[in-house]
Amino acid sequence: MRFSEPPISVQAQIELVNCARGFLTAHPAESNLSLRVFKLTQEDSDWIADRRGDFVSYQTRHLAARKRMVQLFNMACSALAATNVISDDKSTHQVTATVPSLTSFPLRLRLHITGMSSESGWEALRPADVWIVDSATVGRTIVRRAQFSFETQSLDVELHTTIACHRSLMRAIERRGRGGESSWQWMFA
């Protein structure tokens, strides 16, 4: 979880930490997904109605209002993040990747995924983690291009390594890859 402003007091920091414990990291988009979802109580609905109006409750009970705002804003951010990744492909695919050049930066991995009914979140600039088989290397890549074929129910994807993972993925492919004009590598994406 990232916050743009530091807590205003030690008490606010403790409250923020306690509120943040109710959230798990959603790996695909590094966003937050709630551990539980429930309908708003009548008290919460009344508070939101007050918040939309004159917001008198903040003047009379500002500590309680701040606590409720933290909960409400976390819930809203969580719901937004969840809807952004709800249709993403969260499965693991064993594929053979083609690496056009081991000397280029960023390192490009081209792969073909079969059995796909839609793009399922494989869109440009989305993150994808890859694991090189028979190595201890798991690296972060970014989808540069994805093209879905409805006729063959397949997806052609080009991944680019991030700065942080470029060298480790390059070394893993050099050690474990099968050479030739293009390097080929078994990997999981």
Helix, strand, or coil here: 84?
A: helix
For residue 65, being part of any structural domain is answered with yes
Domain ends where: 85, 106, 122? 85
For residue 1, being part of any structural domain is answered with no
Q: Cβ(29)–Cβ(123) under 8 Å?
A: no
- DSSP lists the bridge partners of residue 95 as 187
For residue 111, being part of any structural domain is answered with yes
pTM of this structure: 0.57
pLDDT in tens, 108-149: 999 999 988 888 888 898 888 888 888 888 889 999 999 999
Residues 103 and 72 in one domain: no
Domain ends where: 49, 65, 85? 85
What domain count does the chain have? 2
CATH number, domain with residue 158: 2.40.30
For residue 170, being part of any structural domain is answered with yes
Helix, strand, or coil here: 108?
A: strand
For residue 155, being part of any structural domain is answered with yes
> How many whole angstroms separate alpha carbon 100 and alpha carbon 93?
21
Helix, strand, or coil here: 19?
A: helix
Residues 98 and 159 in one domain: yes
Neighbours of 131 (CB within 10 A): 18
For residue 117, being part of any structural domain is answered with yes
pLDDT in tens, 34-60: 556 667 788 888 878 887 878 777 778
Note down the domain range covering 72. Answer: 10-85
For residue 30, being part of any structural domain is answered with yes
> How many whole angstroms separate alpha carbon 85 and alpha carbon 38?
20
Sequence-distant (≥ 6) Cβ neighbours of residue 137 within 8 angstroms: 131, 168, 169, 171, 172
pLDDT in tens, 65-124: 888 888 888 877 777 777 777 767 777 888 888 888 888 899 999 999 998 888 888 889
